[in-house]
Amino acid sequence: MNKVLANAAEAVALIPDGATIMMGGFGLCGIPENLIAALHARGTRDLRIISNNAGIDTFGIGILLQTRQVRKMISTYVGENQEFERQCLSGELELELVPQGTLAERIRAGGAGIGGFFTPTGYGTVVAEGKETRVIDGRPYVFEKPLKADFAFVKAFRGDRLGNLVYRRTARNFNPMMATAAAVTIAEVEQIVEPGALAPDAIATPGIFVKHIFQGAGYEKRIERRTVKKTG
């Protein structure tokens, strides 16, 4: 089976309006830049996006918010993105805020086929409203359901033609678990190599989880806040 696509435009042509998409990344680190830009250019709408956050106003998922292509965000953090905040407060955008560790575990549970889990995080807050609670060994817990998606957009450093992926340092973040929790995972990588070129122990996402892969280009790899020491 040939998993290699020509580019991001060919990949996002598979995405229908109304799709639920997991997008890897933490802040702007390890985000699928090419896929987001191609989805923006294509104009796909009514999207439900699961991501740690929504980038910034002018980069990452933020550009999809600017053009009103996102119907709902499931994420942990609104900061650094004024348009995200504005749309949430005005009611233009549906938002489900999830504690960061809970988001990670819900995605992991979705990929592992687990029906849910109990966590103490969020008990007694709005996060627990409408959810089952239980006291275990004297401590209150909230039941959280798994998260799954139609598609996962993941960004890796290297990948082979079979879809095996290697990530670079903190750019790994949410990408590996999201790759397991979607019906179709599309990976963009900086380098495509031949099968056997990747060290087996370095592979974080086995190719069995990846449906399509392509080599991206023009990565900006921005950061949200650049802090430097003042001279003098």
Outline where 52-181 has alpha helix (H). 62-66, 82-90, 100-112, 175-180
What residue type is assigned to position 34 of the chain? N
Domain boundaries, the chain: 8-116+147-215
pLDDT at 96 (0 to 100) = 95
As a whole-number percent, the residues of the chain with pLDDT over 90 amount to: 90
Phi, psi (degrees; rounded to nearest 5) at 203: -75, 120
Tell me if the domain spanning 8-116+147-215 has CATH number 3.40.1080.10. Answer: yes
191-226: pLDDT as tens digits: 999 999 999 999 999 999 999 999 999 999 888 777
- Predicted TM-score of the model (pTM): 0.94
Q: Which of 204, 191, 183 is CA-nearest to residue 161?
A: 191
More confident residue, 34 or 231: 34
What integer is the mean pLDDT of 184-191?
98
pLDDT at position 80 over 90: no
Mean pLDDT of 72-94: 92
Angstrom distance (rounded) from CA 73 to CA 82 = 15
Residue 228 has pLDDT above 90, yes or no: no
